Structure 1
Amino acid sequence: MIVSVIGGTGPQGLGIALRLAIEGVEVIVGSRKEEKALDVVAEAKEKYADYDLNIKGLANEDAAKEGDILILTVPLAAQKPTVEGIKEFCTDKIVLDATVPLETAIGGKPFRFIDLMEGSAAERTASILDGTGAKVICAFCNISNSHLSNIPEDIDCDCLIAGDDKEAKEIAAELINKIPGVRTIDTGILEKSRIIEKITPLLIGLNIKYKSHYGGLRITGIPKLDE
């Protein structure tokens, strides 16, 4: 199984890519420009030379074409053009969308949310990919970049996911749960992404208030998805 992180050269995408690659997953880091992806991957391999990382860089379109599971990690402003650019390569694939509609997209504050016409960023991706058979899942919205990049420490945070395809969510959970410390919680249908995405600005606000970088979320009393 090949996992392609679309827009994977930023802190979130690269953090997810490295965490999965360290656990033995074959990963492709995608970027709008292939040269940037190649440079970022080369730097990461040098920095984490102690790990046998099966990771490479490609342009987003090529990464989407080669990947079996796609993880979208782009800012809100880049979401629509990025998804439209890879749409032809998303047929029947699982697409995890980590996009959060933060007010920073329009020059506002990071702890404020933008309401989208489609209801959520993940639902917008699903609407763009309608007709391709892609199974869109909201995921990775509530895990901070600091947690992801704090290698090799475990991540003390649950990963809330939402999607309409049960089997796709089970496959996604198996992948996400490879990251040490992370527990995947299935919240239900894709519409629940409207709630998941709104938790992120709350966590950002808490991190600002308490001068932290590692504020996260744990759901108690609920077994993880694969139990």
Structure 2
Amino acid sequence: MKIAIIGGTGGQGLGIAIRFVQAGEDVIIGSRAIEKAEKAVEKVKELLDMDKIPNLKAAENADGAKEADILILTVPLAAQRATLLSIKDNAAGKVLIDATGPLESAIGGSPTRCIYLSEGAASERAQKILPEANVICAFNNISSGALMNFPNPIDCDCLMSGDDLESKKTVAKLIEKIPGVQVVDCGPLERAQIIEKITPLLIGLNIKKTCKDAGIRITGIDPECKLY
């Protein structure tokens, strides 16, 4: 499976790229500008202390979306709509994991407060922008700090929601290749309205506790009860 991380040059995108490269997946880091994507690839090589990573490449967002089988959106809320429109023609029929956090920082406010969107959730807005894609809300509650701590497993569950069962199976199987992560299916895509609001809570805890990888675990669920 080939994965394109759309807008993948920030901390979250780089962390996801590293984790999936380590898992042996083919990864494309996308950006609006190819030069920025290439710099991100070089950064990953530097962090992993590798001169060559054959399963990692750079591309402009639209080209990455065209080549990949599954897409992961890791951009701030302010860039979500424009980025999705730039890949719309190449996203039809594909799974798109939306990790967008509807944070007040998108309009100059606090990252510990959320914005209430007319569509409900950022992932629901993504589904309206890309009606022919299968949008899944995931990765919202796994911090970039935890992702970038790549020598170690991640002590955090990944809350997920979406309307297409087969897409959720594909996403769960993929994300659980990251050591330590268990995917918890929270139901239909509208549950993203709840999942996304956990993000500013965790950011606030990171600030208050002076850490960078606060996460969440859901207890009482049989780990063998998987979607796949």
TM-score with structure 2 length normalisation? 0.96
CA offset at residue 52 of structure 1? 4.9
The residue type equivalent to 2:143 in the other structure is S
Percent sequence identity is 56
Aligned to 2:42: 42
State the secondary structure of the residue aligned to 1:185.
strand
Aligned to 2:218: 219
**Cα distance per residue 1:29-72 (max 9 Å; x no partner):** 00010111011102211331359551111000100000100000
Aligned to 2:60: 59
Pairs within 5 Å for 1:70-149:
70-130=71-131, 132=132, 134-149=133-148
CA offset at residue 207 of structure 1? 1.3
State the secondary structure of the residue aligned to 2:124.
helix
| Aligned equivalents of 1:94, 1:30: Cα separation in 2 | 16
The residue type equivalent to 1:156 in the other structure is D
| Aligned equivalents of 1:47, 1:125: Cα separation in 2 | 31
CA offset at residue 213 of structure 1? 1.0
Contact 1:119-1:191 within 8 A present in 2 as well:
yes
CA offset at residue 223 of structure 1? 3.0
Unaligned runs of 5+ in 1: none
| Aligned equivalents of 1:103, 1:113: Cα separation in 2 | 5
Contact 1:3-1:68 within 8 A present in 2 as well:
yes
Contact 1:6-1:71 within 8 A present in 2 as well:
yes
CA offset at residue 190 of structure 1? 0.1
State the secondary structure of the residue aligned to 2:135.
strand
Aligned pairs, how many?
A: 225
State the secondary structure of the residue aligned to 1:13.
helix
Contact 1:45-1:53 within 8 A present in 2 as well:
no
| Aligned equivalents of 1:125, 1:86: Cα separation in 2 | 12
The residue type equivalent to 1:98 in the other structure is A
Q: Please, what is the CA RMSD of the aligned residues?
A: 1.3
CA offset at residue 210 of structure 1? 1.3
| Aligned equivalents of 1:43, 1:18: Cα separation in 2 | 10
**Cα distance per residue 1:80-125 (max 9 Å; x no partner):** 0000110000111000000010000011111000000100000000
| Aligned equivalents of 1:5, 1:112: Cα separation in 2 | 26
Aligned to 1:33: 33
| Aligned equivalents of 1:197, 1:125: Cα separation in 2 | 13
Aligned to 1:151: 150
Change (3 A) 1:34 1:154: same
| Aligned equivalents of 1:103, 1:97: Cα separation in 2 | 18
TM-score with structure 1 length normalisation? 0.96
